[in-house]
Structure 1
């Protein structure tokens, strides 16, 4: 099999899906470009800040991409490249795309509130509380996994550490000039991107060598600060500028494959049962994770993106389009694992999945004259930049959800007396607990993260189905994927718990989290099915049917 065929097939399928299925979803859901979005009706200068579509696309894409669509497909390559590719394409189009676009759409129709609030309105207060706890626990896993991945990358590629720190400073300057000094987005973008690549050069010249544990502490301190700063000064500009790195990496990878078209060495299917409870079904689907569908995306879409959406017409390109672009990234990831064969893949995986990806894309980019070392360093830097983006977005989302869980106010004008609703207290609790899990390492966390993440997606799809039905809209595009994702993830959690029990003393924190997530998911599933089975019509006066 030629890798060029895989890339072209994936891109063609995604373009067709965006033009047809994506447009059909907009029509069925009633996307209204004339309807004011929460970014305008609730502007506060901190979280609710209107952003132009290119800027918001950059934020959303950078936040959802992270290391997930790279680590997942490469880890799942042990089953062979064909099952992974099929799930990336089918999952991105009919599962992940619907999930991401639906979460964003449902949130803007609920004043930019989180999926937890969508569940509150459509499934009741108990459903919201349970989902909020589920989502918050899942975000602790995201924080732990991505902090570990970032720290490990900074240790292995010190130049990426230097450049990433410089990116943060550049983003602050960019945000200040654009949002407070009225600098034009176009010229600022050109200068910002030029300085972005200058930061890359500085990183290569002045690599920063620190230990893994030191980087973990620095990263945890950073995300704590980033969680409470206004989105215009760091989140929006950093993610927007970083998106150009991802676009460049994607373009370089695709171009490299077009020129070198490396031959696939990995078997199409290696095994349906790898032993130790690693069955193709359901492990493949929870391992690929963000490369096809990710519950984390629903938290981003309903947590930060919906509060910045300038116009409802942008829901399609930002919600559905971003997932399809991520599908292209996942396709490149599986190719970097499949072109080297099983033996070399196992050797490179001893470093990390990002090591496999960096080596692969670095090799592909030699096809158009870029030195391997430079290409590998650039890809490693891009990965760390996106993982860092997902990391601070996850922390902000964790802070939002934690505050919501303890907020008993009946209106936004009231002042809460509960210290747990304070954004600084919520941030510290979230960061400290996520940080404690970080020292387990990403390899230990990833299996439970994958299951929790996909189960979170199932719950988000369930809430979308209930919301659409109560509005008298077509909802099968959400309900059918919901059933499949519940079957996959509940089965995967059971296998995970059984597999970890042999070393309970070491694995008890992971087992405890898995059991809690399983129980919460079952209760929420029952609550959702009851809500879906009734014929209650929404009393939401703000929804324009």
Structure 2
């Protein structure tokens, strides 16, 4: 069944593992044979890759981004005072926000741990396909997707993409799309809480720095509301955070954070239930953070995290420069461009590369952020390009840096050492950690070249804190967005009680906690659905592109910039979904929750494609097609 999808990983790269003869091509197609020889890393150096990627990303933002913003989406056609941040300002969710602050919030929220984990895993296939997908995918697909979702939402009173389906496509799909978003966020909340709790247990030296950020963010927000500079106070808060890394690494504080309290009964219980304790703490934090006014905690925390990001990126690039200069600009790439020997159980490069690297190229979660929190804070439509398009391009830049850290001689002494690290099984205990450690060790080596007075252990902890901080930001923003979706669903059926802020938040948090604890106190319940999250996340991106393409067609605007990415994602995501469904149905024990959710997403994609085609056809048959644009007013 589905034979073209079942070729071995070795057949993907054109070299047979047994006799060295030409094998099947990257697409797994037996009809297309190739004599492709795997390109080894020594033929390329990190400096060249870094400069080339940076130039392409900048050109994409400068020229293609400008054209998309003005000619395709028509940015600048709306009076800023009509934007929802002004017209619906309430001091809690709808707050007009300065561009630099909103950029930090949007960027840190969409980034999360995705552009770190995805590329760190995807280089298993080799650095070339991962790098090409990150650079060109972020410009041509991801940034177009994110900016479109932001513009569409701001022109419709800050409503979510799912809610807008009723007017743009059909009321028939609105409910299903919102439920699909609800399911995706449900899994995100449960799994991210488990991942962060697990990192706390494994790396207790990071706990103090991560939790001290909350009171620091409240202080920064208070100072900002008093007219002080958020940038200055955010930088000071970051200094305190990194000081806490040093304190948290001391033996006494580390033991305290690890609940190593001797024979104390409370300490024994906490040590045995550390994961459960941190899960409860994280869900409690997410509840509080999602109901507070955005300017009190969400924005200042994201400002601190954006400082973390830019500092880490700057240190990584400075380290790259130092290593390049000292190495005669020949910092070697030790990994192969295309890996001839991936793990035996690795899936096909095509289409699973485009599923593995989501954040960093294109991600459906971004549409929820753009139309969830960001659109309600956009003070001027002119800011949309730098926030919607620019943040996605910069996220692609972060993914490039992660790839370079995972393939360079700074992190691995030789190609053999790299191969040993990346020869772990694709799916199994420790395989993800093995790949993440490639970024952590390589990143620490990069930064250590620029800051040699810090120990490698301290720098590795800094990178760990960055990863946890990003994941926590994604978690609290996802809780707020989940509350918005629940409120939209409740209002649509007239259940106003469920649309109340605290009630909707309670449903969001308690349901995610229930999922996390479904499999026991260790919080792994969300992992039941996580294996299909990559596909469902990209399904969500393709569904968003269906909405955007239909919206553009009905407005008589250019549709190719969204239609071409839609076609590409429909093929790749559809292929991956069918392949994964085939694997699930042919397993010894069928995971029915995964089958149901994945099948629901596949049917929804097909339905929305048909609805979109019908809407576009109807709009072409009439001279005047009423659409909701801009700002919730029906225009003909």
The reply to whether TM is greater than 0.5 is: yes
Corresponding position of 1:412? none
Structure 1, 372-381 or 31-40: larger mean CA deviation: 31-40
Give the one of 294, 310, 323 matched to 2:392: 323
CA distance 1:106–1:353, shift in 2 (3 Å) = farther
Structure 1, 375-384 or 181-190: larger mean CA deviation: 181-190
Q: TM-score, normalised by structure 2?
A: 0.80
Q: Which runs of 5+ in 1 are unaligned?
A: 410-415
Question: RMSD between aligned alpha carbons?
Answer: 2.4
> Does the Cα contact within 8 Å between 2:130 and 2:353 map onto a contact in 1?
yes
1:308-387 alignment to 2 at 5 Å?
308-339=377-408, 340=412, 341-346=418-423, 349=431, 351=433, 353-368=435-450, 369=452, 370-387=454-471
CA distance 1:157–1:445, shift in 2 (3 Å) = farther
1:133-148 alignment to 2 at 5 Å?
133-148=179-194
1:64-463 alignment to 2 at 5 Å?
64-179=110-225, 181-205=226-250, 206-207=253-254, 208-209=257-258, 211-261=274-324, 262-270=331-339, 278-339=347-408, 340=412, 341-346=418-423, 349=431, 351=433, 353-368=435-450, 369=452, 370-408=454-492, 417-438=495-516, 439-440=523-524, 446-463=530-547
Structure 1, 1-10 or 530-539: larger mean CA deviation: 530-539
**Match of 1:227, SS?**
helix
**CA-to-aligned-CA distance 1:30-71 (integer Å, 9 cap, x gap):** 211743221111101110011111110110011011100111
Q: Which runs of 5+ in 2 are unaligned?
A: 1-43, 260-273, 325-330, 413-417, 425-429, 517-522
Deviation at 1:515, TM superposition (A): 2.0
Deviation at 1:503, TM superposition (A): 4.6
**CA-to-aligned-CA distance 1:182-221 (integer Å, 9 cap, x gap):** 3343543443343343444443343422633332232122
2: distance between equivalents of 1:234 and 1:150?
Answer: 19
CA distance 1:441–1:155, shift in 2 (3 Å) = farther
2: distance between equivalents of 1:292 and 1:326?
Answer: 8
CA distance 1:191–1:350, shift in 2 (3 Å) = closer
1: distance between equivalents of 2:437 and 2:195?
Answer: 11
Give the one of 461, 464, 476 matched to 2:548: 464
Q: TM-score, normalised by structure 1?
A: 0.92
1:505-520 alignment to 2 at 5 Å?
505=589, 507-520=591-604
Structure 1 or 2, whichever has the larger Rg, is 2
Deviation at 1:502, TM superposition (A): 4.8
2: distance between equivalents of 1:187 and 1:260?
Answer: 31
CA distance 1:497–1:310, shift in 2 (3 Å) = same
The structure richer in helix per residue is: 1
> Does the Cα contact within 8 Å between 2:124 and 2:422 map onto a contact in 1?
no
> Does the Cα contact within 8 Å between 1:143 and 1:391 map onto a contact in 2?
yes
CA distance 1:494–1:93, shift in 2 (3 Å) = same
Structure 1, 120-129 or 383-392: larger mean CA deviation: 120-129
2: distance between equivalents of 1:538 and 1:445?
Answer: 40
- Structure with greater contact order relative to length (CA < 8 Å, sep ≥ 6): 1
Corresponding position of 2:75? 31
2: distance between equivalents of 1:189 and 1:109?
Answer: 31
**Match of 2:215, SS?**
helix
